[in-house]
Chain A
């Protein structure tokens, strides 16, 4: 029933008619051939692309921003389609746009305008206009111009250089009148040859940033949030003075908090309907930690996360009683309900703003771009005690979820606020441990296993298990424990309840036919059927950091009983490597009549920077070598 955005674009694709009448300029054709040899996989490039941000005053003497986009596209290949996307929202509007050939004719194109459906956001005021056109011959070119107006400069937060296609000459121009204070911060410029010039003319300071031959936005998998590595300019509009009157926009962290607080103050709360549930949850509970836990878990379990990002509602929480009634809410609504219920239970709970790990900024930057999430902080005797994120289903009490660890938070504190930091959890809290006990019977590795999960992995698996059909759970558990092996070789015997506070234990039987190879008197034995990270080298031409799903700590201990009449002929050498990003430690030993295999793999940081790629790839080569080396048992006969 859902008409997806992409479907609508596909409709455009059906209808687009080519730009046929246009002659091809020989110079452009030559340029297209030159660029095709550089950008082999691209169909279209921008010869030039500029965004000009003009800070202006409107009729009401308020500061507004007009963003003028001017781009020239060049086809490198015959029959190239391209879709220009121009974004707007309730706070901005597209004033005009044009698509013309180099002789000024309007280019036939299809147009789609509508709301954007993205990820798990149920509704957002973000909209896009997409213009799709076709260039029939290489060397044909199209000029695009568009103007978007922002009535509130708070919403103009950053300017990005990259686009989905390469750009030969990329400019960002920011024109600021002398009566306005706008700070520009240059982020991730290192490694990019971005030239900056500043000039003042007629009371306008123009900042011009230029970069040449910029490649397209990377399409690699496992990318961290783009703000971590893509060059961009943070635009901080602080204040402006018109007719002697100074108006503050966001000049400091205080301003940011005051604006947020002015919105939360508008929330019309009525806690009456919450009292019965809070009483029920805290009845007979005397310990305040237990009360907090009961309420925190109730919100996690009973309120479904449905994200609305609608104008100011994108910043203002929904009243707690409404979230309670609907049984759904976004992060702000869920944080607000948690605060309300805790307050009713006599706990000091406060709304807290945070930018998740996708955002690399801290609160010294006064910008709406600094955060994207709301949680709840519990205080005791005016001291910060626990951080609660009720959107994180199955997150244990007292454990900070991965996506906010190490991040600054802004906590409400009456008329003021507190800036604090979310503690990082020690790697031991991420332990995912498996113990296998094997015997060898007719060249089959038979055994039992028990896997105990904790940390982010447990949370993720609980969420998946909880959201798949009941009948599919057994199959899913077998996939979890089988690693790279065939799930049909495993039989789940039992698993413990979905309990946030304890390890998740899965016990199973194992029957592996292809791990033992007999060669006359010798048995070659491969104990590890999981082979974590085997072959997982980073591609040699990757230029952007690699993001793991989360930090992780995997430990495996396997014991294999040496069959009667056999002794060890060869045990592979141990393999160890450790640095501040990852650690691999694997070895075999002989204990009594058993081979004991231990494997510890730690991913200590969730983002692997490009500078570490060479170390990582060398480590994976060592790991492959270790995995490919077999134990040899020899018959005594």
Chain B
């Protein structure tokens, strides 16, 4: 039940892996010890049976919660022990909570690869009169699951006799024996929020770290610090965090919880004495918490990544094709496009016809490294910017090597940033995860051992760079049926263009342009491969148009709360992949339905809907406790051009003029009649990617103005 979410650069959770099963509580002696440990504890928090008055109306209250982790390596043992013991005591106060805790699924013990895992669990109910009823696991049913003959069994337990007001007290434990083939083992990093779906009276997170295990750990946003604690019962010492009185937290718009709510992050590494000194990563003293990182550790880490040997293919192609190009402004940019071609576009057709993801996220570092190596080789000034994604932590809270992210700033006469790699990326785009953060900068002309890291503020791309400009030409085709034919033309720049580009555009749309800008590297393919690729291409092309019209339909559904016919005439006018032509431009047609109401001889048109759906601020969102983290600054502008039907005039134009502008952003709408058409121009912008919570009412004011415009109608009055 703990909110454990992986860090950006890691993939899988630390806990709750699934194992080839052979039961729960199999080792009876150990099962009894674990039971005693949890249910015969002297911890008073787990004996509590009452909850504070203020939480009586909650769905459930976590009376006590304990997560204990233990990492150890016995002398001479060829394995590592990792144990986790989760213990919860929860009072259930409504049926939704009863429903949630009436059934449990527990993975069984067993072998998984080189890991032996033993699962232990215990459940009991405490009735309001204090009676305790232990639930037998004998009633659990086994669900077998085998993937390619490897078993992943699950035990399902229905909790009997559970009623409102009961307390459920249960523990789920896993003792892993990890076979070691190397002298090094890194557990996945974990980030935990201290708030839960239910309020928490008391909670404790503890670590036991013995021989040769290293821990990097930090408490953030007011989370209590870990303290070294002696457990008199077991005579062992732990690092423990004790916390309590935490209110429940719901999902909140534009909140990065790890930046605002009490959080801890940690990572455990096992390393033998002989390898500890050589590990590329932030590592402290065995058994002692490491909670800060020295600059030299960062340069040491990057010493493994940034080398002169990187980017051989890039250097080769640049030397071959652009030997005569000497203007560093142009050369640096061309290198970017060639790198994009090598790492993405060159494979784009193959990925497309084979149905593979064209933008895998796991190799962006190698193209940054390749470009830096090339710039260093060509003595092009550039900085390497190292920071933590803004949704995770500020720079001063760095403790894990894999929370770092990297970007380049190329200091040619017209400097530009190089953010993440994407098939449609352009020079000058700042990674949105790094906008507005403080990062370290290093001189890219040197290798890391010569770096002197300095702090630098990364700018936020202005709202004008992430812009969506739309024009709708509307023509009423049937007043009584309420049908309006629309021709939509869109131009999208910056980060906003990535989604429609990925939905609507493919390799064949930009193949010619790419070849004209980046001299293609012709590699002759075998006849057999060629034939196969032709068949794959033919099959892809057979459904290409249908499929992209379906995806366009999804885009329109996201934009409108209106009924519409299947879109047609999709045209991509500009791919938006080069600095000179930064906008992705496309157009389509469709017919919207049921947007007109009759009023005697006149008609009311839901014209406000044509500026596309605007975010609504619900009543319960208006008060805000937390700062506002938007993903980026952005501008959205729409021009609506409605042809006025013959025999009618437009009334109510004055209601379409409005303006709310402030320091956080704004919404302005203007309407006029021109050449027998109603022309509405609206512009909405979010000026920043971050606002203090005190400024939230300013944001609400223009968001409400935009949403309110959505409801506007005009009257087509019959000329009598």
Flag B400-433 by CB within 8 Å of A: 1 or 0 each: 0000000000000000000000000000000000
Other-chain contact of A327, B141, B161, B543, B616 (Cβ < 8 Å) = B161
Closest to A18 in B: B354
Q: A112-B147, A123-B141, A471-B59 are in contact. Are A325 and B161 (CB under 8 A)?
A: yes
Instruction: Answer whether residue A117 sits at the interface, using C-beta atoms and an 8 A cutoff.
Output: yes
Q: Is the CB of B94 within 8 A of A630?
A: no
Give the complex CA separation of A471 and B480 in angstroms. Answer: 44
Output the least CB separation between A629 and chain B (Å).
5
Contact string against A for B residues 54-67, beta-carbon threshold 8 Å, 1 for contact and 0 otherwise: 00011100000000
- Do A629 and B539 contact each other (CB < 8 Å), given the known contacts A1-B16, A11-B147? no
* Cβ-closest chain A residue relative to B159: A328
Tell me if A123 and B143 are in contact (CB < 8 A): yes
Question: With an 8 A cutoff between CB atoms, is A535 at the interface?
Answer: yes
Cross-chain contact of B145 among A110, A114, A514, A569 (Cβ < 8 A): A114
Residues of A with C-beta under 8 A to B163: 302, 327
Given contacts A1-B16, A12-B148, A112-B148, 14 further A-B contacts (CB under 8 A): A3-B18, A78-B536, A111-B146, A122-B141, A123-B156, A127-B144, A306-B158, A325-B161, A327-B160, A469-B59, A470-B57, A524-B599, A630-B597, A632-B599
Cross-chain contact of B96 among A327, A468, A524, A632 (Cβ < 8 A): A468
Q: Are A3 and B145 in contact (CB under 8 A)?
A: yes
Quote the shortest CB–CB distance from B82 to chain A (angstroms).
Answer: 18
Complex: A310 Cα to B139 Cα, angstroms: 13
Would you list 5 pairs from A and B whose C-beta atoms are within 8 A, ordered by A residue?
A114-B145, A114-B146, A117-B143, A328-B160, A570-B599
Cβ-defined contact, B543 with A77, below 8 A? yes
Q: How far is the CA of A11 from the CA of B18 in the complex (A)?
A: 13
Across-interface contacts of A526 in B (CB, < 8 A)? 597
Q: Is A594 an interface residue (CB 8 A)?
A: no
Q: Could you say which residues of chain B place their CB within 8 Å of the CB of A114?
A: 143-146
* CB–CB B162/A327 < 8 A: yes
Residue in B closest to A11 when the chains form the complex, CB atoms: B147
Q: Which residues of B contact A (CB under 8 A)?
A: 16, 18, 57-59, 93-99, 102-107, 141, 143-149, 152, 154, 156, 158, 160-163, 353-355, 480, 482, 532, 535-536, 539-540, 542-543, 546, 563, 593-594, 596-600, 602, 604, 616, 618-620, 651-652, 711, 713, 715, 717
Binding site for B on A (CB under 8 A): 1-3, 5, 8, 11-12, 15, 24, 36, 40, 77-79, 110-115, 117, 122-123, 127, 136-138, 302, 304, 306, 308, 310, 325-328, 466-471, 475, 486, 488, 513-514, 517, 519-520, 522, 524, 526, 534-535, 569-570, 624-625, 628-630, 632
Tell me if A137 and B539 are in contact (CB < 8 A).
yes
Contacting residues, chain A, for B717 (C-beta < 8 A):
519
Judge whether B147 and A513 touch: CB under 8 Å: no
How near does chain B come to A77, taking the closest CB pair, in angstroms?
5
User: What A residues does B596 contact at CB under 8 A?
Assistant: 628
Q: Which of A2, A5, A520, A628 contacts B598 (CB 8 A)?
A: A628
Q: Is the contact region of chain A dominated by helix, strand, or loop, or is it mixed?
A: mixed
Q: Which residues of A contact B594 (CB under 8 A)?
A: 534-535, 624, 628
Residues of the B chain whose Cβ atoms lie less than 8 Å from the Cβ of A624: 594
Q: Nearest 6 CB-CB pairs, A to B?
A: A114-B145, A326-B160, A78-B539, A469-B59, A630-B599, A115-B143
Asked whether A306 and B143 contact (CB < 8 A) given A78-B353, A78-B536, A519-B652, the answer is no
Whether B160 contacts A519 by the Cβ 8 Å rule is no
Verify B145–A78 contact, CB threshold 8 A.
no
The complex places the Cα of A122 from the Cα of B602 at a distance, in Å, of 58
How many angstroms from the CA of A596 to the CA of B370 in the assembled complex? 75
Residue of A5, A24, A78, A470 near B354 (CB, 8 A) is: A78
Report the Cα distance A8→B149, complex, angstroms: 12
Most chain B CB atoms below 10 A, which of A11, A24, A517 = A517
Query: Does the CB pair A79–B158 fall under 8 Å?
Result: no
When A78-B539, A519-B652 are in contact, do A469 and B96 touch as well, CB less than 8 Å?
Answer: yes
B44: min CB distance to chain A, Å: 28
Using known A-B contacts A117-B143, A628-B596, A628-B597, determine if residue A40 contacts B543 with beta carbons closer than 8 Å: yes
Q: How far is the CB of A31 from chain B (nearest CB, A)?
A: 14
* Residues of A close to B57: CB separation below 8 A: 470-471
Q: How many angstroms between the C-alpha atoms of A295 and B158 in the bound complex?
A: 24
Is A79's CB under 8 angstroms from B145's CB? no
Contacts of B141 in A (CB 8 A): 122-123, 308, 310
- The answer to whether B94 and A470 touch across the interface, beta carbons within 8 angstroms, is yes
Considering residues B143, B144, B152, which has the most beta carbons from chain A within 10 angstroms of its beta carbon?
B143
Q: Which residues of chain A are near B619, meaning CB under 8 Å?
A: 488
Q: Is the CB of A3 within 8 A of B546?
A: no
Contact of A2 among B148, B154, B540 (CB under 8 A): B154
Least CB distance, A122 to chain B, in whole angstroms: 6
Which of B18, B162, B542, B546: most chain A Cβ within 10 A?
A: B542
Q: Is the CB of A1 within 8 A of B597?
A: no
Chain A, Cβ-Cβ closest to B707: A486
Distance of A19 from chain B, by nearest CB (Å): 13
Q: Is the CB of B152 within 8 A of A137?
A: no
Say yes or no: A78 contacts B540, CB within 8 Å.
yes
B146 with A113: CB separation less than 8 A: yes
| Contact call A470/B58, Cβ cutoff below 8 A | yes
Q: Which of A1, A8, A36 contacts B105 (CB 8 A)?
A: A1
CA–CA, A535 to B564, complex, Å? 11
Chain A hits for B146, CB < 8 A: 111-114
* Minimum C-beta distance from B4 to chain A (A): 12
**Inside 8 A of A110's CB, which chain B residues have their CB?**
147-148
Q: Which residues of A contact B152 (CB under 8 A)?
A: 3, 8
Known contacts A469-B96, A488-B618, A519-B602; decide if A629 and B148 are in contact (CB<8 Å).
no
Q: Is B147 a contact of A8 with CB atoms below 8 Å?
A: yes
B143 and A570 contacting across the interface, CB-CB below 8 Å = no
Nearest A residue to B139, CB-CB: A326
Please measure, in the bound complex, the distance between the C-alpha atom of A468 and the C-alpha atom of B98, giving whole angstroms: 11
Question: For B160, what are the chain A residues with a Cβ–Cβ distance below 8 Å?
Answer: 325-328
Q: Which residues of A contact B154 (CB under 8 A)?
A: 2-3
What residues of B have a CB within 8 angstroms of the CB of A5 in the complex? 145
CA distance A122 to B539 in the complex (A): 43
CA distance A295 to B149 in the complex (A): 49
The residues of A that contact B143 with a CB separation of less than 8 Å are 114-115, 117, 123
Closest chain B residue to A123, Cβ basis: B141
- CB-based contact B354/A36 at 8 Å: no
Contact partner of B158 (CB less than 8 A), chosen from A40, A326, A488, A513, is A326
Task: Say whether B604 contacts A630, CB under 8 Å.
Answer: yes
Contacts of B145 in A (CB 8 A): 3, 5, 8, 112-115
Query: Would A630 and B598 count as touching, CB distance under 8 A?
Result: yes
For the complex formed, measure the closest distance between the CB of A384 and the CB atoms of chain B, giving whole angstroms. Answer: 33
C-alpha gap A302/B602 in the complex (Å): 59
Which of chain B's residues have a CB closer than 8 A to the CB of A304? 98, 102, 162
A residues less than 8 Å from B535 (CB atoms):
24, 78, 137-138
Alpha-carbon distance A10/B156, docked complex (angstroms): 22
**CB <8 Å contact, A122 and B597:** no
Bound CA–CA A624/B535 (angstroms): 49
| Nearest-neighbor residue (CB-CB) of A36 within chain B | B542
Closest to A465 in B: B95
B313 to chain A, nearest CB (A): 27
